[in-house]
Amino acid sequence: MSFEPLAEKIVELIGNKENVKSVTHCATRLRFKLKNEEIAKTDEINQLDGVVTVMQSGGQYQVVIGTHVSQVYAFILSQLDLAQEKPQEIEAEANEEAAEHENLFNRFIDIISSVFTPVLGLLAASGMIKGLVAVLLVAGLTTQESGTYQVLWAVGDALFYFFPVALGYTSAKKFGLNPLFGIVIGCALLYPNLANLIGTEAPSVMFQGTVFEAPVYFKFLGIPVLMMSYGQSVIPIIIATFFAAKLEKWLQKVCPDVVKMFFVPFFTLIIVIPLTFIIIGPIATWASSILSSAVLAIYNISPPLAGAVIGGLWQVLVMFGLHWGFIPIGMLNIQSFGYDPVMALMFAVPFATMGAVLGVMLKSKDKKVKSLCAPCFVTGLFGISEPAIYGITLPRKVPFYCTLIAGAVGGLIMGFAGSKVYTQGGLGIFALPNRISESGLDMGFYGSLIGIIAAFIVAFILTFLFWKENKVKTS
């Protein structure tokens, strides 16, 4: 399929480049920020061959394309004449304008999605590699002392350990800061001479005996520096980059042009990095720990109930882009406790969707529907269920409801079994190894396996029994 005509038509129907502030993409969606969403001809876009559906959420006009979205995106940039421009400046300008019309929650979701979307592919790949290493260990094919293990673990763990560097880059692009500034700030948080102090005996400890207890190894200009572990951290680098973007923008205005090239980065780094170590980092780390503990406390009230709620509502959250709010929580839990039981509970949802799609495919007599079900089933196996949601289950309503019920059943089983995820990344069937603990296969792992099988079967049976075929839009 040639994607250039599709890109041309989408640009035309959203009001051409004059109506576009910025555009990005995730695994399946083009995410436009439009000057006026009412100008866009949504009904006509929905009818385009190659478009699954259109969603308007979180201040974004989202065109769901499918797994070939990156190919369409390349032509979209060409159509909008954005290929040669500085994306961070375009994004920053669009963000400032949108902030005037969006509530705080929508702005939060937009920031999280924009910061994490660029690293999702690498995050999934890294998680798959760590999962593969876990499988090799359990199967006895390698040991933790072997060179094979050391190299493979380094490959899989590199992104997670240096996550502040990656998020420094994506956060900088989101906030309109030179991405190199974000990288340097992230590197400073992980600088070996400072990071290696963690775990050694400290000369003094502040707030001892409280949740805010922190070691003090040295002072900066007479101010005690509370050392935190920033490996795999999320919140500190995002906040630090936000402040750096604001400071850099102000410095660009006040610094004389003749010294701007080196004075702006000089003052930005020498102010923001120490400020991050002294104030931003500790406060953000404490807030992250408190949030993780609060979420875990709610989960511990009734893990099966939490599983049923999260598993049952996850597709609804995905539809409106609200699932982004859970991603940093999952990563915070892994950083704080070494595992996350919350994100583990949605694992059955893609498999429930696959079951519903299979039910539609076997029961439908429409050849076009059957041909659409096959690729949706395959992408669901790899954890990408949006084409199936918008192309198959949601337009037919009953299969979508069956998926919600099946997702709740799978989540309930996983909650009852105490299923956990020990590393982020990996999608669909490739996420299963991420549920292997250091001690090997436990009840939580088997609960995850039983949960996805149960969700698939329940969704298939309910769809096959209760769905009756009507004529609906299939593309």
CATH of the domain at 38: 3.30.1360.60
| Residue 312 maps to a domain | yes
Q: What pLDDT score was predicted for residue 138?
A: 82
- DSSP structure class, residue 34: E
Calculate mean pLDDT across residues 306-335. Answer: 81
Select from 32, 57, 87 the last residue of a domain.
Answer: 87
SS3 label, residue 3: coil
First-last CA distance in the chain: 15
Q: Are residues 285 and 400 in the same domain?
A: no
Q: Which residue has the higher pLDDT, 371 or 307?
A: 307
| Residue 392 maps to a domain | yes
Q: Are residues 266 and 375 in the same domain?
A: no
Residue 86: pLDDT band (50, 70, 90) is very low
Select from 298, 321, 343 the last residue of a domain.
Answer: 298
Q: Are residues 332 and 245 in the same domain?
A: no
Q: What pLDDT score was predicted for residue 475?
A: 44
| Total domains present in the chain | 3
pTM, two decimals, is 0.70
| Residue 422 maps to a domain | yes
| Residue 322 maps to a domain | yes
pLDDT at 83 exceeding the cut of 50: no
Q: Using an 8 Å Cβ cutoff, are 188 and 272 in contact?
A: no
Q: What pLDDT score was predicted for residue 87?
A: 47
| Residue 473 maps to a domain | no
Q: CA–CA separation, 449 vs 192, rounded Å? A: 40
| Residue 146 maps to a domain | no
Calculate mean pLDDT across residues 150-168. Answer: 91
Q: Are residues 72 and 200 in the same domain?
A: no
Q: Are residues 325 and 225 in the same domain?
A: no
Q: What pLDDT score was predicted for residue 58?
A: 64
SS3 label, residue 20: strand
Calculate mean pLDDT across residues 165-184. Answer: 92
Q: Are residues 448 and 381 in the same domain?
A: yes
Domain span at residue 337 reads 302-466
Q: Are residues 285 and 370 in the same domain?
A: no
Q: Are residues 294 and 306 in the same domain?
A: no
Q: Using an 8 Å Cβ cutoff, are 73 and 4 in contact?
A: no
Residue 50: pLDDT band (50, 70, 90) is confident
Q: What pLDDT score was predicted for residue 100?
A: 52
Least confident among 2-6, 13-17, 184-188, 396-400: 2-6
Least confident among 101-110, 345-354, 371-380: 101-110
Give me the percent of the chain exceeding a pLDDT of 70. 91
Q: What pLDDT score was predicted for residue 84?
A: 41
Q: What pLDDT score was predicted for residue 92?
A: 55
pLDDT at 443 exceeding the cut of 70: yes
pLDDT at 372 exceeding the cut of 70: yes
| Residue 121 maps to a domain | no
Least confident among 169-173, 304-308, 454-458, 470-474: 470-474
Residue/partner pairs of 115-121 with CB below 8 Å, 24 or more apart: 115/167, 115/170, 115/171, 115/174, 115/238, 116/167, 116/170, 116/324, 116/327, 116/328, 117/24, 117/25, 117/26, 117/170, 118/170, 118/173, 119/159, 119/166, 119/167, 119/170, 120/26, 120/27, 121/27
Q: Are residues 236 and 173 in the same domain?
A: yes
| Residue 107 maps to a domain | no
Q: Are residues 427 and 348 in the same domain?
A: yes
Q: Are residues 269 and 408 in the same domain?
A: no
Q: What pLDDT score was predicted for residue 474?
A: 46
Q: CA–CA separation, 297 vs 313, rounded Å? A: 20
Q: Are residues 455 and 310 in the same domain?
A: yes
Calculate mean pLDDT across residues 33-59. Answer: 83
Q: What pLDDT score was predicted for residue 250?
A: 93
SS3 label, residue 57: strand
Q: CA–CA separation, 215 vs 241, rounded Å? A: 25
Calculate mean pLDDT across residues 108-136. Answer: 81
pLDDT at 320 exceeding the cut of 80: no
Instruction: Indicate the burial class of 113 (C-beta count within 10 angstroms; 0-12, 13-18, 19 or more).
Output: buried
Q: Using an 8 Å Cβ cutoff, are 311 and 348 in contact?
A: yes
pLDDT at 18 exceeding the cut of 70: yes
Select from 67, 87, 107 the last residue of a domain.
Answer: 87
Computed over every residue of the chain, the mean pLDDT equals: 84
pLDDT at 85 exceeding the cut of 50: no
